[in-house]
């Protein structure tokens, strides 16, 4: 007696393809990605055009040009949250988990697809924004080129940091399962909590705050390390650990909780 393989057996490749299709068929994906690139480039060009050269060079050039990524981290974070918590709000998650009963491949596939979209977008945007802004900054203390020491690393580091923030937000969405609550938790972790903790008069708190995701992203976005900031390699490691820990907790909860 011969047996035939099931034509629609669940495989990692098929789960990835399904999540890729779901992400790109959402109108919110296209809007978020377009707004992210446009705001980053427009703000970089605007800052370059408005800069009068009277500064003292205290801010790193790459960090100055990429100030628009403050919007990008929120936009990409929301996109990550919609990829997980959005399915719970619409009820589509039931169909997803019925098709993939092992559950965890869904989470890993969502994270991989989001990273595959966010990193090239952020890197391409940075490589466009930097020379665009520098066309206005020639002759000032913020003038630099792509070939200067640390510039390309900072542009790529910023893209990697934004990607990790997006995946971290995806993990928060899988944990909280509510879009508004997940957005609040993400913004609180990235932007609000570090500023509150920094007010405490304890040196060990200051050291910890430097490794929070938002502060680590700043360190990754500098061509030259800033005084008092963590090194780019330590910042990248910190962001990897934050993201991995969030996904690990989300995976544990996903296995134990009913859909």
The pLDDT tens digits of the residues spanning 116-163 come to 999 999 999 999 999 999 999 988 888 899 999 999 999 999 999 999
- 103 in Cβ contact with 15 (< 8 Å): no
pTM for this predicted structure:
0.91
Question: Can you tell me the distance from the alpha carbon of 129 to that of 154, in angstroms, rounded to the nearest whole number?
Answer: 13
Residue 25 tokens, joined: 């068929």
Judge whether residue 4 has pLDDT over 70: no
Cα dihedral 81, 230, 57, 214 in deg (nearest 10): 10
Q: Which of 124, 134, 135, 5 is nearest to 72 (CA)?
A: 124
Greatest mean pLDDT range, 1-15, 28-42, 95-109: 28-42
Count of CA atoms in the C-beta half-sphere (13 A) of 62:
27
């Amino acid at each position: 007696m011969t047996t035939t393989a099931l034509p629609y057996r669940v495989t990692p490749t098929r789960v990835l393809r399904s999540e890729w299709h779901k992400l790109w068929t959402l109108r919110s994906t296209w809007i978020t990605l377009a707004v992210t690139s446009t705001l980053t480039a427009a703000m970089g060009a605007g800052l370059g055009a408005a800069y009068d050269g009277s500064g003292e060079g205290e801010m790193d050039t790459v960090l100055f040009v990429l100030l628009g990524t403050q919007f990008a981290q929120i936009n990409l974070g929301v996109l990550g949250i919609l990829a997980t918590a959005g399915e719970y709000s619409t009820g589509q998650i039931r169909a997803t988990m019925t098709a993939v009963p092992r559950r965890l491949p869904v989470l890993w596939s969502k994270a991989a697809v989001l990273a595959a979209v966010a990193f090239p977008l952020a890197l391409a945007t940075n490589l466009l924004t930097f020379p665009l802004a520098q066309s206005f900054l020639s002759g000032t203390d913020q003038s630099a080129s792509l070939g200067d020491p640390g510039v390309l690393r900072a542009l790529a580091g910023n893209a990697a940091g934004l990607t990790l923030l997006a995946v971290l937000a995806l993990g928060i969405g899988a944990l909280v399962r509510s879009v508004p609550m997940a957005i609040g938790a993400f913004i609180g972790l990235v932007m609000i909590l570090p500023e509150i903790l920094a007010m405490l008069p304890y040196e060990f708190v200051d050291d910890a705050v430097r490794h929070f995701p938002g502060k680590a992203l700043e360190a990754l976005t500098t061509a030259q390390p800033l005084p008092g900031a963590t090194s780019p390699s330590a910042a990248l490691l910190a962001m990897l650990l934050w993201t991995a820990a969030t996904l690990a907790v989300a995976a544990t909860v996903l296995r134990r909780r009913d859909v």
